[in-house]
Amino acid sequence: MAGFKTNSFNDRRDAALKAKEALLEKFKARPAPDHPRLQALAEERKRIAEARAIRDAEREQRRQEEAARRAEEELRRMAEEVARLEAEKLAAEQAILEEQELKLRQKEARDARYAARKLRRR
């Protein structure tokens, strides 16, 4: 392999030093924290965070309003269910009373027939 060149230790060391220097220059080239562009970016981030906080608060308020509405609906539905059950109970009690009254009238009619039959035999 005639075209193959091996890097010596010095070549690798020089390459590493150059890479470190390039990183250092890149770091030094960064603007200072009080640079207007960085301050503008920080302000923009702050406005975005405030807008997000407002949206989150509005979303939470809507969520609470929805939960309150659902609770009211559930309460109304339960009240209707209780009223329906009370009406059914009242209707069932009325039916029982009517049935007892009918049986009482039938017994009275039967007793009257029995008494009339007894009177006819004497």
Q: What is the pLDDT of residues 58-115, one digit of tens each?
A: 999 999 999 999 999 999 999 999 999 999 999 999 999 999 999 999 999 999 999 9
> Which two tokens mark 87?
């009406």
For residues 58 and 64, the answer to whether their CB atoms sit within 8 Å is no
pLDDT level of residue 9 (50, 70, 90 thresholds): confident
- Through-space distance between the first and last CA atoms of the chain, rounded to whole angstroms: 148
In whole angstroms, what is the distance from residue 5 CA to residue 27 CA? Answer: 33
Please give the average per-residue pLDDT across 16-24, as a whole number: 93
pLDDT level of residue 2 (50, 70, 90 thresholds): low
pLDDT value, residue 35: 84
Close Cβ partners of 15 (under 8 Å, ≥ 6 residues apart): 7
pLDDT level of residue 30 (50, 70, 90 thresholds): confident
30: left (phi over 0), alpha (psi -120 to 50) or beta: beta
pLDDT value, residue 43: 94
